C-alpha cells in the first residue's frame, strides 16, 4: 500500500492511551483529538512537532476510559464510556469541560464502544481496528462485506482509529481521506492517507462498491 502522507506521534506519555477519536474543528481549522486515558480522564489534544500537545484534560470517570467520541453533527460535544459502566456527554464550550448528561442505567458491563466508524461521506465504508491484524477499510452493503485496504505499520495492538471529516485532503488529482490510527502498548499515533481514489466513484460503481446515489 502506497502511503502518500504519514506521520507518527508519541501519545500522551504520562498515562496509557486507551482510545482516541479524530475530529476537525472547522472554526480553528485544526486537528483536534479526544483521548481516553487509563486514569479515568479525557483529554483534548492537538498535533505538535513530534507529539500530541494537550489542550485540555479533566477527570471524567472513576476507572479506565475506553471510548471518547466526538458528536459528528455537534463537534462541541464529546461522549465517553468507561469501566465504571457510565456513558457521559461533555460540552467542550465550557472549560474544564462541563458534563452535559450521564446515563448510569442499562449498562451492566463496561462501555467500550459508542458507534460504528463509517466514512463521513462515502456510504458503506467502515474503518476498523483489528487488534493483532492491523487496520482495515471495509465496504459493507447488505449481506456483502469486502476489505478495500489494509494498514499494518503499527507494531502493537491496533486499538483506535478514525476518519478526518473534511473533503479537502488530496494528492495531485487524487481525492483521498486522512486517517488516524493508534496502537495500545507503544502509545503511537500514525496519520496516513487512503490509497483508494474516492473521487473516482465510477470505478467503484464498476466493482459494485458504492451505491449510485453517492456523490463526492
pLDDT, tens digit (0-9, with 9 covering 90-100), for 112-141: 666 667 777 777 788 888 888 888 888 877
**Host H or E run for residue 175:** strand 174-175
d(CA 210, CA 208): 6
The whole-number pLDDT of residue 28 equals: 46
d(CA 205, CA 137): 17
Nearest Cα to 165, choosing from 34, 48, 2, 25?
A: 25
Q: Is the pLDDT of residue 58 over 90?
A: yes
Report residue 162: phi and psi, to 5°.
-160, 160
The whole-number pLDDT of residue 75 equals: 78
Amino acid at each position: 500500500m502506497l502511503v502518500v502522507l504519514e506521520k507518527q506521534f508519541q501519545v500522551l506519555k504520562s498515562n496509557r492511551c486507551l482510545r482516541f477519536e479524530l475530529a476537525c474543528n472547522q472554526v480553528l481549522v485544526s486537528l483536534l483529538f479526544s483521548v481516553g486515558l487509563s486514569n479515568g480522564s479525557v483529554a483534548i489534544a492537538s498535533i505538535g512537532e513530534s507529539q500530541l500537545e494537550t489542550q485540555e484534560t479533566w477527570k471524567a470517570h472513576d476507572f479506565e476510559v475506553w471510548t471518547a467520541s466526538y458528536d459528528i453533527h455537534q463537534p462541541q460535544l464529546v461522549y465517553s464510556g468507561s469501566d465504571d459502566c457510565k456513558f457521559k456527554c461533555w460540552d467542550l464550550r465550557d472549560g474544564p469541560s462541563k458534563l452535559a448528561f450521564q446515563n448510569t442505567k442499562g449498562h451492566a458491563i463496561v462501555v467500550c464502544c459508542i458507534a460504528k466508524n463509517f466514512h463521513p461521506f462515502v456510504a458503506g465504508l467502515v474503518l476498523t481496528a483489528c487488534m493483532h491484524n492491523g487496520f482495515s477499510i471495509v465496504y459493507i452493503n447488505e449481506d456483502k462485506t469486502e476489505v478495500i485496504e489494509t494498514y499494518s505499520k503499527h507494531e502493537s495492538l491496533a486499538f483506535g482509529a478514525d476518519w478526518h471529516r473534511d473533503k479537502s485532503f488530496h494528492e495531485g488529482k487524487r481525492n483521498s481521506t486522512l486517517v488516524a490510527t493508534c496502537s495500545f502498548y507503544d502509545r503511537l499515533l500514525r496519520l496516513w492517507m487512503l490509497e483508494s481514489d474516492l473521487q473516482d466513484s465510477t470505478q467503484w460503481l464498476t466493482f459494485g462498491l458504492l451505491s449510485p446515489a453517492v456523490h463526492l
